Structure 1
Amino acid sequence: MTSGKSEAAIPRDPQGASPSAEVFLTELLERRQRLLAEIGTLEQRRDRLQEDIRRHFAGSCDELSRRVQGFQDYLVGALQELSDRAQTLELAPRKVMVQPSPLDRPAETVPDQATGAASPFLADQPLIEDMIRGFQDTPDFYAPPWRLRRHLEVGHGEVLTNWLLQQQGRGAQNSLGSRSRNVLLGAAAVAILTELYGDQLQTLVLASTPERLGQWRRGLQDSLGLTREDFGPNANGISLFERSDALIERADRLESRDRLPLILVDAAEQVVDIPILQFPLWLAFAADGRELAMEDLDGDPL
């Protein structure tokens, strides 16, 4: 028993400590040293920032003060200069010489500008009027081909005169009430233009159905004393078209060969393509609502 108690009272040797505890203690000491070093670095940065802020604020205030003082000096100088100029102004009223306005002068004679836009048929006006008067007399049923063989009413003659001399041979006219009357007026136009231009003239008729084109062909053939050989896509007289694009293409080819196309548009064509308007001779008949309604309801020709 005595020997057991003496063994328990003997203190342990510190050299017998665990190696892992020593390693842990060493790491703690190293981390402490690193933290102290970082704290010292941060304190130095803090001191530098405080010094920079102090210097910058003082410099900004000084710069702002100098700018305010400079602007104040500028205002004082500008006001002084303005005051000096005001004192040197001559306040005596000056005499004003009033010149007469050009509008007060007598109007000068201005040449008629409409002359430049005169109809190309004015030089042939006597011949045109004489032919139209002849159309209104007793018709010559045995006249040569391309001469009008039917009677033209006085009112229709006025329409034709207006189209040639006022509209310069290019424009729309109200329908005369029926397709046969429109065809007769177109035939009269063909007769006059054939007299003026001869074989250079080529007539192109636009109507969107074969029935309407048939009425145009028969009416022109009867009114001008023509034959079937004078009609057709390759004929030198009159060509009939159901589509405007084909007509326009044909008219372009004619102009490229120095021919003169005359375009006649049926009254049932409610829209005239813009390219048609570029040609020098075209006559479009415009039907009113009654004529169009009658054709749509009854299927009868205009």
Structure 2
Amino acid sequence: MTSSNSEASTPRTPPAASPAADVFLSELLERRQRLLTEINTLEQRRNRLQEDIHRHFAGTCDELSHRVRGFQEYLVGALQELSDRAQDLELTPRKVMVQPSPLDQPTTTAPGQSTSAASPFLADEPLIEDMIRGFQDTPDFYGPPWRLRRHLDASHGALLSNWLFQQQGRGAQNSLGSRSRNVLLGAAAIAVLTELYGEDQLQTLVLASTPERLGQWRRGLQDSLGLTREDFGPGANGISLFERPDALIERADRLESQDGLPLILVDAAEQVIDIPILQFPLWLAFAADAHELSMDNLDSDPL
């Protein structure tokens, strides 16, 4: 009985704190102190920034107002000076005598003289016309090479004459409806120009964008002019075939540098002609209409 009372009267001591809790508490206190220090520093920077903004803004406004006022004074003075000078000017109109230009005088043209540039083939017009008329007669199928061996219609002969004399050997003609007719007209042009300039100087360059079209041109020219395969190719002096215009232009430039004379024939399926081709003295391009291109008659027409 006595022992139980003594145990009840003895006070209990609280449990001691663990070392881990003490360390955690000290870290929290240190972080709190650092945050308070940073907050104090930021508040000081905020106060300084507010003071700087207030001071600079007030100074900038004053400076801008001074500049605007100075520009206004300068502008008013300049306008006043300009007005004073304008009043001193003599604004009485002066009479100007205009002499007529010699270019305004009508030019007199002698009878029979053409106002357009003379064709380089006019001197050989009788010979050319005689050859074109001969193409319309019965063809000589066993004639010498580079002579036309096929019959040329009178209307096609008129187109060739127009190309030589009116277009001076440089221009486009409407397609004759098929590649075979275009090739025949091109062969007639080759025959005429070969007679004028010779086989050694004249070289024909044909432009068509596909091997099939070039094949039709080669077979047609070979048949119409009595040529052989040796007359075609980049190394030949006769006819060269090209799928790309840049290669043709390079070849034509080389021929001219060697005192040669290129004749460029452009297939009707070529819808775009490179501008450098137009600089050469002899070129004939065939222009097909939309129906002819859409029906692809040029490729399907046999020679």
3-state SS in 2 of match to 1:148: coil
- C-alpha displacement of 1:299: 5.8
Query: Partners in 2 of 1:175 and 1:164 — Cα distance?
Result: 17
Query: Partners in 2 of 1:252 and 1:117 — Cα distance?
Result: 25
On the 8 A contact 1:207/1:241 being kept in 2, the answer is yes
On the 8 A contact 1:294/1:300 being kept in 2, the answer is no
The match for 1:139 is 139
3-state SS in 2 of match to 1:139: coil
Q: Which has the larger radius of gyration?
A: 1
The reply to whether residue 166 of structure 1 matches residue 169 of structure 2 is no
- C-alpha displacement of 1:108: 6.8
The match for 1:213 is 214
Instruction: Give unmatched runs, 5+ long, in structure 2.
Output: 1-83, 89-99
Change (3 A) 1:108 1:114: closer
The match for 1:286 is 287
3-state SS in 1 of match to 2:181: helix
The match for 2:239 is 238
3-state SS in 2 of match to 1:143: coil
Percent identity of paired positions between Structure 1 and Structure 2: 81
3-state SS in 1 of match to 2:227: coil
The match for 1:109 is 108
3-state SS in 1 of match to 2:204: strand
Instruction: Give unmatched runs, 5+ long, in structure 1.
Output: 1-73, 79-100
The match for 2:62 is none
Change (3 A) 1:177 1:108: closer
The match for 1:92 is none
Equivalent residues in 2 for 1:29-40, closer than 5 Å: none
Corresponding letter in the other structure for 1:220: L
Change (3 A) 1:268 1:218: same
Query: Partners in 2 of 1:115 and 1:299 — Cα distance?
Result: 41
The match for 2:258 is 257
Corresponding letter in the other structure for 1:280: P
On the 8 A contact 1:212/1:301 being kept in 2, the answer is no
Change (3 A) 1:288 1:111: same
- C-alpha displacement of 1:109: 3.1
- C-alpha displacement of 1:252: 0.2
Change (3 A) 1:214 1:126: same
Query: Partners in 2 of 1:107 and 1:270 — Cα distance?
Result: 41
Query: Partners in 2 of 1:110 and 1:135 — Cα distance?
Result: 36
The match for 1:247 is 248
Change (3 A) 1:141 1:245: same
On the 8 A contact 2:180/2:301 being kept in 1, the answer is no
Query: Partners in 1 of 2:143 and 2:114 — Cα distance?
Result: 38
- C-alpha displacement of 1:192: 0.2
Q: TM-score, normalised by structure 2?
A: 0.63
3-state SS in 2 of match to 1:263: strand
Corresponding letter in the other structure for 1:186: G
The match for 1:53 is none
3-state SS in 2 of match to 1:221: helix
On the 8 A contact 1:175/1:287 being kept in 2, the answer is yes
State the number of aligned residues. Answer: 208
Corresponding letter in the other structure for 2:208: A
1:115-156 C-alpha deviation (Å, 9 max, x unpaired): 671100000000010000000000000110000000000000
- C-alpha displacement of 1:290: 1.1
Corresponding letter in the other structure for 2:288: A
Query: Partners in 1 of 2:265 and 2:251 — Cα distance?
Result: 14
Query: Partners in 2 of 1:299 and 1:238 — Cα distance?
Result: 21
- C-alpha displacement of 1:300: 2.0
Query: Partners in 2 of 1:250 and 1:229 — Cα distance?
Result: 18
Equivalent residues in 2 for 1:85-234, closer than 5 Å: 109-110=108-109, 114=114, 117-198=117-198, 199-234=200-235
3-state SS in 1 of match to 2:296: helix
Query: Partners in 1 of 2:253 and 2:216 — Cα distance?
Result: 26
1:164-201 C-alpha deviation (Å, 9 max, x unpaired): 00000000000000000000000000000000000200
Corresponding letter in the other structure for 1:109: T
Q: TM-score, normalised by structure 1?
A: 0.63
Equivalent residues in 2 for 1:15-26, closer than 5 Å: none
On the 8 A contact 1:203/1:263 being kept in 2, the answer is yes
